[in-house]
Amino acid sequence: MSMEDYSMNTQIVRNWMASNPFTITPQTTLPKVRQLMLDHHLRHLPVVNEDKLVGCVTWRDIHRAEGWDGVDFGGYDLNSLLEQLTAKEFMSYKPITISPDATIGEAAYLMAEHRIGGLPVVDEGKLVGIITESDFCRLLILQAENAA
């Protein structure tokens, strides 16, 4: 009986990523982004414009956008301003990405080095998936099962 090699240096991103991830556009409003992330238990949300990745939104970006409490907005209500805020105004631009043919080890290295929990997977400029810490947990479970 042969054991499959679940090493981080042999497994490739394509086999572990979530394909066709939820995405938003730069025009998606903050309330819609927040609700999408809550409804689908997302921590990373790629921002695309005509199938091209242009940014990424995380909970950190949302909390930073909502952290304007105590700032004088010249009589405007903070809540109404936040309702009009669009992703292009609070997303992280130029997110770190990875190729679907990279190894899981390469993805883990990038995530650790940049202290991020997920990487958009891009092939020829187009978003094809996302790989997150949860995907690494699945790999670790299989490694443990194979070792037993």
- Give 86-135 pLDDT, tens digit per residue: 999 999 998 999 999 999 999 999 999 999 999 999 999 899 999 998 88
pLDDT the model gives residue 31? 92
Please say whether the structural domain 13-147 has been given the CATH code 3.10.580.10. Answer: yes
Mean pLDDT of 69-77: 50
Q: Where exactly are the structural domains of the chain?
A: 13-147
Q: What is the DSSP string of 13-67?
A: GGGTSEES---B-TT-BHHHHHHHHHHTT-SEEEEEETTEEEEEEEHHHHHHHH-
CA dist., res. 34 & res. 14, Å (int): 28
CA dist., res. 28 & res. 92, Å (int): 14
pLDDT digits (tens, 9 = 90+) for 7-52: 667 789 999 899 989 999 999 999 999 999 999 999 999 999 988 9
Q: What is the pTM of this model?
A: 0.81
CA dist., res. 118 & res. 129, Å (int): 11
pLDDT > 50? residue 70: no
